[in-house]
Structure 1
Amino acid sequence: MFEKVRKAWRGILPAQHTERETSRERRSHNLFEAAAVYVSACAEDDQDRIDEAAGWVSPEALSFGVNELACRALIALARERDESPATVARSLLGLPAA
Structure 2
Amino acid sequence: MLKIIGYALVLPILALAGAVAGSFIGLGPLYGGIAGIIIGLIGISIIISILSTLLFLIQVLIFGGFLLLTVAIGGYLATILTLNPLIGGVVGLIIGLIAMSQVVG
What TM-score do the two structures reach when normalised by structure 2? 0.34
What TM-score do the two structures reach when normalised by structure 1? 0.35
Structure number with larger C-alpha Rg: 2
- Larger RCO (CA within 8 A; separation ≥ 6): 1
Name the one with the larger helix percent.
2
